[in-house]
Amino acid sequence: MPTAQSRVPHPLPGLSPLFGAAALRDADAQATRRFGLPSLVLMERAGLESARAIMARWPDTGRAVVMVGAGNNGGDGMVVARHLAEAGWRVGIVSPDGRAPTTPDAHAMSNVALAMGIALGPFDADAHRPEGAILVDALLGTGTKGAPRPPLEAMVEWALGWPGPVVALDVPTGIDADSGRREGRAIRADLTVTYHGDKPGLHVHPGRAHAGDVLVTDIGIPSALVSEPAAWLAGDAAAAAIPPKATAGEKYGAGAVLVVAGAPGLTGAGIMCAQAAMRSGAGLVVAAVPAAVHALMAPAMREVMCAPIPDVAGAFGVTSLEAIAAQAGRTGAVALGPGIGRAGGTTAAVLGLLERLEQPVVVDADGLWHLSGQLELLRARSAPTVLTPHAGEAARLLGCTRADIDADRLAAAAQLAHDAGAVVTLKGPGTIVCSPEGLVSIAAAGGPELSTAGSGDVLTGITAAALAKEMPAAAAAIAAVSLHALAGRLAGRGDGTIAGDLIDALPSAIASARGSA
């Protein structure tokens, strides 16, 4: 049987739906109301599939401790304990006060487990943590908000010192299933077995770091019950949405990009951005650079046309506008910002370009710095804009702190997209793409190999190439993020990966994505 089905079509190949906790609870309730499927059956399936997942991943462990709360998540844990015990495992159950869960279904499942002789005892903060045993977190489900309160708070703290694997049922205790927020201490799982549908909070930082591997299990809810997705999870195949070059095409037809970049001491960012655009399939890339750094940048970009632009002390200024606009006239998309510096006159150049350019523009790095307090200008643009901030840059644009952004990355991306009237790519663990219309995508991939200087410039070049191929702005941003992550993985150099490795891996990443689509 299938897991949760989306009520709306997939907006892009390679995307799978993510559902809010309320939508999945509603599907659970409708399975009983509309189809007469007993809720006790759903709980049995949830626990059975979780136990099977545990035994499949750790077949030789043979020992588990299950922490249960008072609600239905605790009932799921009781079913897990029973099936592990039936398979010959040594199982103990721990609850805050030594009593079984109290909701009707959970109470019924507890009676079965206890009748089988499985031990249930009260939590003891000084209890020994058996080496190598599995710890199962069944304390709180998706319906809870905020930090775990005593005595669950102490149980979470105890679990954080667990010496063996940890498995969370549905969502790790302390993590918000919808947002990934963590307001206090939270379980860190190696595996989260989640029920019926995947949840956004399991893929957005910090929830992403607490969920470990995520396994979505079918618990028997009929496929006729469709739900509205809260967001979409973008896998490798999303990168295949970037159009290939036509068999009988020419360079302009493949997409022409203008990269507006460079300042003294900051030449590398523009070079990497331009090269990434070329490696992502753009047919032509022009780099508009300050005349003062033209002699440094041009030799490093053999395949890129490099245009010297009038500057002011090596930086773009108002006097640069006409020359940059003239170069933009031959291209279909513009990358604005890599390495342009923060000279006072450059602010006027950035704002002036955004007012007059009629092409889609992706703004990154120092370009974002010059937009502080100027988001209303972006709303007035007739052509699409894509912003690609990291958390610090997003905080500056929204007038808040980086901690505010990190606390709820989904809300921050949505707010910035609304305020700017632009597509926002909020970089970081589980990079988020959010459109002003409310389309939200979360990157399934993207590891520490992307945490390197210049990685963002590469992403900007990829995004610009996709925009130049006339992709809708949100689709271009989603596909670019997926291609960027795939290139990082294929670069294969681990912690030693640098931005140049990402650029070199782009052709292989494109081929891999198209093969998986």
Q: Is residue 2 part of a domain?
A: no
Write down the pLDDT at residue 9: 87
Q: Which residue carries 């650029």 as its tokens?
A: 503
Place of tokens 């989260």: 192
**Together in a domain, 462 and 505:** yes
Both 280 and 420 in one domain: the answer is yes
Residue 258 lies in a domain: yes
- For residues 222 and 295, state if they share a domain: no
The domain that holds 321 is classified in CATH as 3.40.1190.20
Whether residues 74 and 130 share a domain: the answer is yes
**pLDDT per residue rounded down to tens, the chain (517 residues):** 457 888 888 889 899 999 999 999 999 999 999 999 999 999 999 999 999 999 999 999 999 999 999 999 999 999 999 999 999 999 999 999 999 999 999 999 999 999 999 999 999 999 989 988 999 999 998 877 888 999 999 999 999 999 999 999 999 999 999 999 998 999 999 999 999 999 999 999 999 999 999 999 999 999 999 999 999 999 999 999 999 998 878 899 999 999 999 999 999 999 999 999 999 999 999 999 999 999 999 999 999 999 999 999 999 999 999 999 999 999 999 999 999 999 999 999 999 999 999 999 999 999 999 999 999 999 999 999 999 999 999 999 999 999 999 999 999 999 999 999 999 999 999 999 999 999 999 999 998 999 999 999 999 999 999 999 999 999 999 999 999 999 999 998 999 999 999 999 999 999 999 997 6
- 162 shares a domain with 94: yes
Give the C-alpha separation, 478 to 349, whole Å. 28
Do 437 and 358 share a structural domain?
yes
The whole-number pLDDT of residue 500 equals: 97
DSSP for 236-301 reads GGGGGGSPPPPTT--TTTT-EEEEE---TT-HHHHHHHHHHHHHTT-SEEEEEEEHHHHHHHGGG-
The answer on 167 and 27 residing in a single domain is yes
Q: What is the CATH number of the domain that holds 34?
A: 3.40.50.10260
Query: What digits encode the pLDDT tens for the residues 207-235?
Result: 999 999 999 999 999 999 999 999 999 99
The pLDDT assigned to 517 comes to 63
Convert 415-443 to b/e letters by CB count within 10 Å (16 or more is b): bbbbbbbbbbbbbbbbbbbbbbeebbbbb
- In this structure, is residue 384 part of a structural domain? yes
pLDDT of 220 reads: 94
- Indicate if 191 and 276 belong to the same structural domain: no
Does 13 reside within a domain? Answer: no
Residue 499 sits in the same domain as residue 430: yes
Question: Model confidence over 123-155: pLDDT tens digits?
Answer: 999 998 998 899 999 999 887 788 899 999 999
Q: Terminus-to-terminus CA distance in the chain, angstroms?
A: 23
Instruction: Indicate if 187 and 317 belong to the same structural domain.
Output: no
Whether residue 3 is contained in a domain is answered as: no
User: What's the pLDDT at 2?
Assistant: 58
139 is a domain residue: yes
65 within some domain: yes
Tally of domains within the chain: 2
Structural domain containing residue 487? 236-240+254-516
Confidence at residue 92, expressed as pLDDT on a 0 to 100 scale: 96
Whether residue 492 is found in the same domain as residue 378: yes
Alpha carbons within 13 A on the beta-carbon side of 315: 20
DSSP string for residues in 80-142: HHHHHHHTT-EEEEEESSSPPP-SHHHHHHHHHHHHTT-EEEE--TT----TT-EEEEES--T
User: What are 324's two structure tokens?
Assistant: 């940059």
Q: Tell me: do 355 and 419 sit in the same domain.
A: yes
The pTM is what? 0.95
Cis peptide before 200 (omega within 30 of 0): no
What CA–CA distance (Å, rounded) separates 404 from 328? 37
Alpha carbon distances (Å) from 112 to 64, 364, 495: 18, 58, 50
pLDDT digits (tens, 9 = 90+) for 418-461: 999 999 999 999 999 999 999 999 999 998 999 999 999 999 99
Domain-located, residue 406: yes
